[in-house]
């Protein structure tokens, strides 16, 4: 199949961008069925996390106390009741010893 450059319109910013013949060939080789919707600028912004649908773009930081030393710490998840939570130092110490988190 012969490919020709196409001018497409970005769904985010509305600017026009070129979908080159080479890019079309790449899409066909990979089995992609849809043409790109975003220009390179909007695509890279979205990949960095400044765009998107909010699917985990920002992690919940939770303040809690370490189950081993009692020091206040911040963890990037919401602790589950009944499971220990460790500060960075205790976590790395336990990991180095090969201890199972129980």
Stretch 58-87: mean pLDDT, rounded?
A: 87
pTM of the entire structure? 0.46
User: In the chain, where do the E strands start and end?
Assistant: 6-9, 16-19, 62-65, 72-75
Predicted confidence at residue 51, as pLDDT, reads: 47
Cβ–Cβ under 8 Å, residues 68 and 88: no
Q: How would residue 70 be classed by pLDDT, with cut points 50, 70 and 90?
A: very high
Determine phi and psi for 35, rounding to 5 degrees. Answer: -75, 160
Residue 100 pLDDT class (50, 70, 90 cuts): low
| C-alpha closest to that of 72 among 81, 80, 63 | 63
């Amino acid at each position: 199949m012969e490919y020709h450059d196409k001018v497409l319109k970005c769904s985010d910013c509305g600017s026009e961008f070129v979908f080159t013949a080479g890019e079309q060939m790449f899409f066909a080789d990979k089995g992609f069925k849809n043409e790109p919707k975003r220009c390179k600028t909007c695509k890279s912004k979205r990949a960095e996390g400044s765009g998107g649908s909010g699917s985990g773009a920002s992690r919940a930081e939770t303040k809690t106390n370490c189950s081993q030393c009692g020091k206040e710490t911040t963890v990037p998840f919401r602790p589950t009741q009944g499971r220990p939570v460790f500060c960075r130092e205790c976590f790395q110490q336990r990991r180095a010893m090969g201890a199972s988190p129980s």
